[in-house]
Structure 1
Amino acid sequence: MTNFIGLRLPLLCAGFSCSCSCSCSCSITLLSTSSTSFSGTATTRPISLLKKWNKGLVKAYPRRMVLGIGASFLGMASSAFQGSNSFIASARINPGPSVDQILKNVEWPEQFPFKDEDFQRFDESSDALFYEAPRFVTHIDDPAIAALTKYYSKVFPPSNTPGVSILDMCSSWVSHFPPGYKQERVVGLGMNEEELKRNPVLTEYVVQDLNVNPKLPFEDNSFDAITNVVSVDYLTKPLEVFKEMRRVLKPGGLAIMSFSNRCFWTKAISIWTSTGDADHVMIVGAYFHYAGGFEPPQAVDISPNPGSSDPMYIVYSRKLSTA
């Protein structure tokens, strides 16, 4: 049975309120893209509600915000969509009881399944302009940050390990590394120089827009780990970026993509804003798979207080030793 459905419905309204969990005056709203939590079997929005949206019967936005409202990837199989040629209609999974199982036993399509329109955004103006002003705020709440920091403490090389280098991709003024964590080389790559200058864990930084130039300015086999916090949803050339991640990682190097259900919705890609949390796990897993040279990606739900604080998900993989 197909487990994914390709569906895009038109934008319904332009009224949004800020759901940012931090105390900030963001120039654009942060949004919660899904109310799904994963304390048990993954759940998705019923297809009947999508039909109501399509008929214009639902006037208010649900928590899932969209560029074009899309059916969830998971658990939405319907004979009405069996003719779709999209990733959603061709990838198959064996559903598990939790996020940790989503990337188990995936039957990936032979070719990269996403289309150009999946990486379009509501706001296609220059990202350099959007990130021109520094934002010294955090975009997930304190419990989610603490959960991510705890995860890093478990998987990072020990502090001050000789020869270890880490790349914090899409970095800003804070990287959420464990307190006092240091390495000989910690590189931040981000969009705002003032934010990067303020980041205490960085030993160096690079200002670069990966949506303009996905080529990473580093030598092959340079880093033991790459991190990306709540920014994978903004990549418009993710396959190119993930291939670059593979190139600059040392054999066996670890790439950690972390994300929640909040974003600057006008700058997030369409395939992200039109789907939910479980789908996002699958999307990031697909990036690893189709970039090649990575171990099968794995997912973990590190949400600290499901339903009462921001969810937090990890999709990670290691570069193959022979890549």
Structure 2
Amino acid sequence: MRGRTIAPRFGRFYPLGLLSGIPGVFRANATPFRVTGIEKAALTADWNHPLAGRNLTLGIEILDAAPKDTDTGGRVTDWTEFLLSGGPGMQARSQGEPTDFTEPDALQRDDPDDDAQFYAEPRLVGHIDRQASACLGEEYARLVKPGHEVLDLMSSVESHLPDTHGSNVTGLGLNAQEMAQNPALNRHVVHDLNTNPTIPFADSSFDLLLCSMSVEYLTRPREVVGEMIRVLRPGGLVAISFSNRWFPPKTTYLWTDLHPFERLGLVADYLLQGPQCTALQTVTYRNWWRPPEDRYSGTLTQADPIFLATARKPG
């Protein structure tokens, strides 16, 4: 992959087409399998659906509907299969054991130069479409309370908070002009977490910490997540969200190697790296139709997906 040799690692998913000698499996088969055991000369490949063996309870609610635009027939979709296809379950650990994400060059990037240079020019645009931002805002509305001290980490022009959040929001990012245009921020601080992962605030300073659409750029993510927990007050929440859009030169190799639901597992692994976090939850929003005024609506039918992991600091 990109001139690199990928060695199988415990708990990771890989395309089935990489395996040979299995009847009916061809090189182009991208169905994921999971490595559930590794020995010197062999590995164990689990080809089950990632949700196999789990008891599921589904709550179904119609949120929106689109009128038919023709009188011709259409296709009938098995919505249960559609709901469960494409990765749900991949974020959970295998057999309760941590997934091995420790590739030698996992946190390297195509552009290793100082991030301050890359982000020196302000980008005064949103990084997800309006529908995705609304979905994320709906989740943030459940987490934020009036009077909360909120830290918007790796902040930009949008915090995706509801207009009536009633909290005091501090932004920490790389471009002062971008943060100055963010109406949700009460103040902002310029700081490069890849140069210095220490978050420049005292212990237990915030009730809620948000990191939106940025975790994929961190070259020292475990140190930064440790700092997130440090600056949270006991009982505080951390929420890390991402989508499928990013600046390729600044994204770590590991991130681009992973299936989207594996990325959710990676973020969960960051939050589970020590005994500090409890009440870990993951949420996904997928398959909304793209807003008609969006510049990609003519070529992309679906809105940007939202993946979110939250956890609470004990206390």
| TM-score with structure 1 setting the length | 0.69
Once residues 197 and 116 of structure 1 are traced to their aligned partners in structure 2, the CA distance between those partners, rounded to angstroms, is 38
Q: CA shift at 1:84, angstroms? A: 9.4
Asked if residue 75 in structure 1 is aligned to residue 33 in structure 2, the reply is yes
Once residues 176 and 84 of structure 1 are traced to their aligned partners in structure 2, the CA distance between those partners, rounded to angstroms, is 49
Once residues 156 and 84 of structure 1 are traced to their aligned partners in structure 2, the CA distance between those partners, rounded to angstroms, is 51
Alignment size in residue pairs: 255
Q: Deviations over 1:95-143 (max 9, x none)?
A: 5657664455654557975245110011111110100000001111111
Asked if residue 142 in structure 1 is aligned to residue 130 in structure 2, the reply is yes
Q: CA shift at 1:261, angstroms? A: 1.1
Q: Cα–Cα, structure 1 residues 272 and 134, in superposed 2: closer, same or farther, change >3 Å?
A: same
The answer to whether the 8 Å contact 1:94/1:104 transfers is no
Q: Cα–Cα, structure 1 residues 292 and 236, in superposed 2: closer, same or farther, change >3 Å?
A: farther
5+ residue gaps, structure 2: 5-12, 21-26, 55-83, 290-300
Asked if residue 182 in structure 1 is aligned to residue 162 in structure 2, the reply is no
Q: What is aligned with 1:198?
A: 181
Corresponding residue SS for 2:236: strand
Corresponding residue SS for 1:220: coil
Say which of 139, 154, 162 aligns to 1:170: 154
Please, what is the CA RMSD of the aligned residues? 3.4
- Farther off after superposition, 301-310 or 248-257: 301-310
Q: Which has the higher contact order (CA 8 A, sep 6+)?
A: 1
The answer to whether the 8 Å contact 2:278/2:312 transfers is yes
Q: What is aligned with 1:114?
A: 102
The answer to whether the 8 Å contact 2:210/2:240 transfers is yes
Q: Cα–Cα, structure 1 residues 101 and 47, in superposed 2: closer, same or farther, change >3 Å?
A: closer
Structure 2 counterpart of 1:274, one-letter code: D
Q: Cα–Cα, structure 1 residues 214 and 50, in superposed 2: closer, same or farther, change >3 Å?
A: farther
Once residues 166 and 179 of structure 1 are traced to their aligned partners in structure 2, the CA distance between those partners, rounded to angstroms, is 14
Q: CA shift at 1:215, angstroms? A: 0.3
The answer to whether the 8 Å contact 2:91/2:263 transfers is no
Q: Runs (4+) of structure 1 moved beyond 4 Å? A: 81-85, 93-113
Q: What is aligned with 2:57?
A: none
5+ residue gaps, structure 1: 1-7, 12-43, 52-56, 59-70
Corresponding residue SS for 2:233: strand
Asked if residue 152 in structure 1 is aligned to residue 152 in structure 2, the reply is no
The answer to whether the 8 Å contact 1:94/1:106 transfers is no
Identity %: 34
Once residues 246 and 84 of structure 1 are traced to their aligned partners in structure 2, the CA distance between those partners, rounded to angstroms, is 41
Once residues 162 and 41 of structure 2 are traced to their aligned partners in structure 1, the CA distance between those partners, rounded to angstroms, is 45
Q: Over alpha carbons, which structure has the higher Rg?
A: 2
Q: What is aligned with 2:10?
A: none
The answer to whether the 8 Å contact 1:299/1:313 transfers is yes
Asked if residue 308 in structure 1 is aligned to residue 302 in structure 2, the reply is yes
